[in-house]
Amino acid sequence: MVYDTIIIGAGPAGLTASIYTSRYKLSNLVIGKLLGGTITHAYKVENFPGFISISGIELANKIVEQVKNLGTEILPEGVKEIVKNPPNEFYKIKSSLPVIEVSILKWIDKKDMTDEEKKEFTGYKTIGGYLKRLSYEDAWAETWSNMSDVDKNKITSIPQFDAQIFKDITGIDITADDEINKAIKALTDAFVLWMEKRY
């Protein structure tokens, strides 16, 4: 079975994500060990808007009901592993259930759609664009290009970080980034020197 989105965790956060996903007409599946999450342990919840006082279980049941009402299935399972599928287009999620696949989608505005895409996804006329299914590498490239240098550094400074393994998995060549940064620095230095000499 292929879903647009798979949400791991059936607590308030995962269930809320599911409600939003369903409202965007994306098929989704929630996998979570504890149905309703840790709020089910709360004797009384008195800070949730709309309820003066409600038991955690009752609140969780209401959220679960809303999720199911939107047609989403919730699997009471623990996820053990998420792996890349050979054609690199899907993640596989391993639990004790049969393997499930999920793809990564990106919103493409109609002004950025090619003629071929417009022919294939005619719904763009009403919704103003379409959701493009990204390959695993494209999804990583997208994430990496939108990531701040601070966040990139957090990843590359992990003690056991290995640039080659990272490249094998994501297709991203950190050393190429380094080369570009070196080139930019060399150009900046040259420009500063030129400015200093000139004035």
Ligand X SMILES: Cc1cc2nc3c(=O)[nH]c(=O)nc-3n(C[C@H](O)[C@H](O)[C@H](O)COP(=O)(O)OP(=O)(O)OC[C@H]3O[C@@H](n4cnc5c(N)ncnc54)[C@H](O)[C@@H]3O)c2cc1C
Task: Give the residues lining the site for ligand X (CB under 6 A).
Answer: 8-14, 31-34, 37-39, 41-42, 45, 47, 78-79
Q: How many helices (H) and strands (E) does the chain have?
A: 8, 9
Residue placing its CB nearer to ligand X in the complex, 11 or 131? 11
Residues in the chain: 199
Min dist. Cβ of residue 21 to ligand X (A):
15
Token pair belonging to 150: 């601070």
Residue placing its CB nearer to ligand X in the complex, 11 or 72? 11
Residue placing its CB nearer to ligand X in the complex, 50 or 87? 50
**Nearest one of 54, 114, 136 to 144, comparing CA atoms:** 136
Q: How many CA atoms lie within 13 A of 2 on its CB side?
A: 8
Residue placing its CB nearer to ligand X in the complex, 38 or 69? 38
SS3 at position 40: helix
**Nearest one of 130, 133, 125 to 2, comparing CA atoms:** 133
| DSSP assignment letter at 129 | E
Min dist. Cβ of residue 184 to ligand X (A):
40
Min dist. Cβ of residue 42 to ligand X (A):
3
**How many other C-beta atoms can be found within 10 angstroms of the C-beta atom of residue 32?**
21
Alpha helices in the chain (DSSP H): 12-23, 56-69, 115-120, 124-127, 136-146, 149-156, 163-170, 174-198
Min dist. Cβ of residue 96 to ligand X (A):
11
Residue placing its CB nearer to ligand X in the complex, 8 or 100? 8
Residue placing its CB nearer to ligand X in the complex, 74 or 172? 74
